[in-house]
Amino acid sequence: MEKDKPWALLSEEGVKQAFLEKLADIMEPHFQIITSREFLQNPLLHGPKIQAMFVWSCCPAAEHLLLNLLPSLKVVANGGAGIDHLDVPFITSRGVKVTNTPGVVSDATADIAMGLLLASARRIVEGHQIAVDAKTTYLAQNLMGVDVTGSTLGIIGMGQIGYKIAKRSRGFDMKILYHNRNRRSIEDEQAVEATFCESLGDLLRRADFVMLAVNLTPNTTGLIGHRELSLMKPTATLVNISRGLLVDQDALVKALQSGMIRAAALDVTHPEPLPRDHPLLGLPNVLITPHVGMNTCATVRGIVQKMVENALAAVNGLPIPNEVKFE
Amino acid sequence: MEEEKPWALVSEVGGENGYLEELADIPKQHFQIICYREFLQNPVLHGPKIQALLIWKYCPAAEPSLLRLLPSLKVVASAGVGIDHLDVPFINSLGVKVANTPRVVSNATADFAMGLLLASARKILEGHHIAVDPKTTHIPQSLMGVEVTGSTLGIIGMGEIGYKIAQRSRGFEMKILYHNRTRRSTEDEQAVGAIYCESLDYLLRRSDFVMIAVKLTSDTTGLIGHRELSLMKPTATLVNISRGQVVDQNALVKALQLATIRAAALDVTHPEPLPRDHPLLSLPNVLITPHIGISTYNTASRMVEKMVENALAGVKGLPIPNEVKLK
């Protein structure tokens, strides 16, 4: 019955109204939805009803002040795999579970990684701009890109997404190097013909394309800085589909300006979006997309389905498919 | 010795349709090169010396008016695989052989085809525009693309390039349908999981991405017209990396305006470039690149090397590696 459905909090900043309407059919059979705006009109009235919080694009922020208003909260269910914006130890210390949606995002993210790699390597965006430019009278000869077939791809972070990127790049006869906290099994490596690089420096020196596919943690913040960029080939391309903070952006700007590396393709920056006067926006050898890694209708629906599944399990005290535990 | 090198006519070095300086060195190793402009200053003097015509980006045009001025011509060597710009029977009737450069273009073109497919599917161009727009203040929630992983790719023309596109799309778990004049061997089909479609209509109805990879001939001119576009799914994307004339462009404009199909990604148009007031240039769901399918230094160099190799063989009366023979 309608009254028996648990209440869940959802933010308008994270989810525009139109978007929310499209996904209502997935959420509404299981939850009564209240938006942040409605909640804040009377937090003392609404707060105690809320058992679940759906977090999308980091909103609502699951912080101290908000959690204090939600005494019945059982779960913070995140949409997406990355949870660097959530203070997991803090949230779980209050007896609230945290969940994410790994797996379901991986294909779309791996696809965008390959799309960015190819678009950068073959200068597709610049090509379009020339093709449609009002002043174009002939097709110039000098829009040369770099070869993808047979090149070396260095994947930093060989989790589910990194591995799917490796699978996709095999079709292009790319040589695959990877660097990861843990080495993958021999079978996994052989299936994609990937070579483990214990040394990140080794990977950086050899790769034509450096692909960042790691989680953002205190250990990986600023992983790619001046030193790492200086180890890369001047013909190499950096592709980032993880988190902006993995890269020292100031060092990246200098590396791109000086020709230390050939180009960068970034689906993620810090912050998002960048300030409008940020040097990255004006560099000719940078391709930036506004964090669209998961942006297909099918993937978004899959994410919302997983969020709802996770939240329902938590609310009902059942085993949770994608619980994030603090180690 | 310098004097013994045979003479070859080229378009120009640098300039609108000319060779890049770096590439021009390749023919200069084996030929004495004369540019079209210089040739025209005294065709009666220069013409009889010329034994090879080296064609880059359709220039110089191997038309009767030019060929008439080259009584010693032995070979027309074109860079690239397409020969729709050459009247092969006519040229052969003058006792002149024709050569192209198949195979060496295939990887770069197949890579580019995948790049266009992914860029269109995941709205990389629009994403970049939003990301760098001075007016952007938020990450957009509604920039949704279509799923590539697990979708159906219909390849029209399963020659070397079409087949390499199939190989690349396997890594994305795409289902592959193909339509070709002749069916490929069972081994070939199984290696990429491609299903033969005797009926083009069948392929058009079922594909999420329709990839045109045919040669331009009298049979394939206007192959994709109003009827074919209307058979496609409204969610489908047309990708063309062969020749503009394979597609009825007026029909394509209507189909895109009416959302008969979702989008188009075109490395080739007719003419190239399009007139600046052409409707294709302003449609939001069109990605156009300026015929850069082969544009990497390595590929361009290898093409010119092959062209020169073919031309030398022709001049020496030896078997030409890539002679174009009409059946």
A210-262, pLDDT tens digit by residue? 999 999 999 999 999 999 999 999 999 999 999 999 999 999 999 999 999 99
Q: Position B64: which residue type?
A: P
Summarised one tens digit per residue, pLDDT across range B171-184 is: 999 999 999 999 99
Res. B137: pLDDT tops 70 = yes
Compute the distance between CA of residue A291 and CA of residue A81 in angstroms, rounded to an integer: 13
Looking at the DSSP assignment, which residues form a beta bridge with residue A224?
A247
pLDDT band at residue B11 under the 50/70/90 scheme: very high
Residue B150 touches partner A, C-beta closer than 8 Å:
yes
Share of chain B above pLDDT 70, in %: 99
| pLDDT surpassing 70 at residue A3 | no
- Contact (CB, 8 A) for A114 and A164: no
- Catalytic, out of A123, A168, A243, A262: A243
Are residues B292 and A110, on separate chains, in Cβ contact within 8 Å? no
Q: For the segment B52-84, what is each residue's pLDDT rounded down to a tens digit?
A: 999 998 999 999 999 999 999 999 999 999 999
Question: What span, in angstroms and rounded, lies between the C-alpha atoms of A266 and B193?
Answer: 33
Task: Give pLDDT tens digits for B41-53.
Answer: 999 999 999 999 9
Task: Determine if the peptide bond prior to B60 is cis (ω within 30°).
Answer: yes
Inter-chain residue contact A110 with B149, CB threshold 8 Å: yes
Provide the pLDDT confidence category of residue A23 given band limits of 50, 70 and 90: confident
Whether the CB of B162 is below 8 Å from some CB of chain A: the reply is no
B234 Cβ partners below 8 Å, 6+ apart?
B259, B260, B261, B262
Q: Is B296 on the interface with A (CB under 8 A)?
A: yes
Please indicate whether, in this complex, the C-beta atoms of B119 and A139 are within 8 angstroms of each other: no
Q: What is the distance in angstroms between the Cα of B170 and the nearest Cα belonging to chain A? A: 7
Q: A46, A272, A278, A301: which one is catalytic?
A: A272
- Residues 6 or more apart from A221 whose CB is under 8 A from it? A245, A246
Q: What rounded mean pLDDT belongs to chain A?
A: 94
CA gap A222, A227 in Å, rounded: 11
Whether the CB of A255 is below 8 Å from some CB of chain B: the reply is: no
What are the chain A neighbours of B282 within 8 Å (beta carbons)?
A: 132
* d(C-alpha B283, C-alpha B297), whole Å: 31
Q: Distance between CA A299 and CA A55 in Å, rounded?
A: 16
- Which candidate from B57, B128, B148 shows the least CB-CB separation from A287? B128
Q: ∠ CA B116-A168-B213 to the nearest 5 degrees? A: 40
**Residue A10 Cα, gap to closest chain B Cα (Å):** 15
* A170 chain-B contacts, CB cut-off 8 A: 171
Per-residue DSSP letter, B58: T
What pLDDT score does A2 carry? 53
Instruction: For helices A297-315 and A17-27, give the axis angle rounded to 10 degrees.
Output: 50
- ipTM for the complex? 0.95
Would you call A57 an interface residue with chain B, using a CB distance cutoff of 8 Å? yes
Q: Who wins on pLDDT, B127 or B12?
A: B127
Give tens-digit pLDDT for B148-205.
999 999 999 999 999 999 999 999 999 999 999 999 999 999 999 999 999 999 999 9
Task: List the single residue in B111, B140, B290 with the smallest CB-CB distance to A143.
Answer: B290
Token readout for A88 is 């997991």
Nearest chain A Cα distance for residue B45, angstroms: 30
pLDDT band at B1 (very low <50, low <70, confident <90, very high): low
Contact A249, A255 (CB under 8 A): no
Active site residue B30: no
Task: Give the count of beta carbons closer than 10 Å to the beta carbon of residue B309.
Answer: 18
d(CA B315, CA B304): 16
Q: Indicate the pLDDT class of residue A25, thresholds 50, 70 and 90.
A: confident
Q: Among the listed ranges A19-28, A212-221, A285-294, B30-39, which one has the minimum average pLDDT value?
A: A19-28
**And the tokens for B190?**
């199984």
Closest CA to B78 of B51, B96, B103, B60: B60
Residue A272 known to be catalytic: yes
Backbone dihedral angles phi then psi of residue A194, each to the nearest 5 degrees: -100, 140
Alpha helix ranges (H) inside chain B? 21-30, 36-41, 43-46, 64-67, 88-93, 106-121, 124-132, 160-170, 186-192, 200-206, 226-231, 249-257, 297-316
A272 interface with B at CB cutoff 8 Å: yes
pLDDT band at A277 (very low <50, low <70, confident <90, very high): very high
| pLDDT of B142 | 82
Q: Within an 8 Å CB–CB cutoff, is residue A185 touching chain B?
A: no
- The minimum CA-CA distance between B326 and chain A, rounded to whole Å, is 30
List CB contacts (< 8 A) between B139 and chain A. Answer: 57, 272-273, 290-291
B12 is catalytic: no
Scanning every residue of chain A, which has its alpha carbon at the shortest distance from the alpha carbon of B286? A128
Q: Which residue of A has its CA nearest to B292?
A: A143
Residue contact A111–B148, C-beta within 8 A: yes
Q: What are phi and psi of B128, to 5 degrees?
A: -65, -45
pLDDT band for position B223 (cuts 50, 70, 90): very high
CB contact residues (below 8 A), chain A span 76-135, against chain B: 107-108, 110-112, 114-116, 118-119, 121-125, 127-128, 130-132, 134
Q: Does A18 touch chain B (CB under 8 A)?
A: yes
Nearest to B94 by CA among B59, B61, B66, B58: B66
Give the per-residue pLDDT at A138.
85
On whether any CB of chain A is under 8 Å from the CB of B103, the answer is no
Interface size, chain A vs chain B, as Cβ–Cβ contacts under 8 Å: 197
Instruction: Tell me: pLDDT of A314 over 90.
Output: yes
Q: What average pLDDT does chain B have?
A: 95
What amino acid occupies position B265? A
Whether residue A20 has pLDDT greater than 70: no
| Residue B258 CB partners (closer than 8 Å, separation 6+) | none
pTM of the model as a whole:
0.95
Q: Is B185 on the interface with A (CB under 8 A)?
A: no
CA gap A246, A252 in Å, rounded: 11
Q: Is B325 helix (H, G, I), strand (E, B) or coil?
A: coil
Alpha-carbon distance of B73 to B50, in angstroms, equals 6
Backbone angles phi, psi at B186, to 5 degrees: -60, -40
pLDDT of residue A15: 64
Average pLDDT over residues B293-319: 96
Name the residue in chain A with its Cα closest to that of B125: A125
And the tokens for A272? Answer: 């998002």
Quick check: helix, strand or coil at residue B274?
Answer: coil
Confidence grade of residue B4 (pLDDT, cut at 50, 70, 90): confident
The identity of residue B226, as a single letter, is: H
- B111/A128 CB distance under 8 A: no
Q: Does B19 touch chain A (CB under 8 A)?
A: yes
Residue A21 pLDDT: 64
Residues in chain B: 327
Does the bond joining B273 to the residue before it have cis omega, within 30 degrees of 0? yes
The confidence band for B19, taking pLDDT boundaries of 50, 70 and 90, is confident
| HSE, side-chain direction, 13 A CA sphere, residue A326 | 14
CA A219, A221, A222 angle in degrees (round to 5)? 120
User: Counting beta carbons within 10 angstroms of the beta carbon of residue B77, is it exposed (0 to 12), middle (13 to 18) or buried (19 or more)?
Assistant: buried
The DSSP symbol for A288 reads E
Between the alpha carbon of residue B17 and those of residues A22, A137, B61, B244, the distances in Å are 50, 12, 12, 18
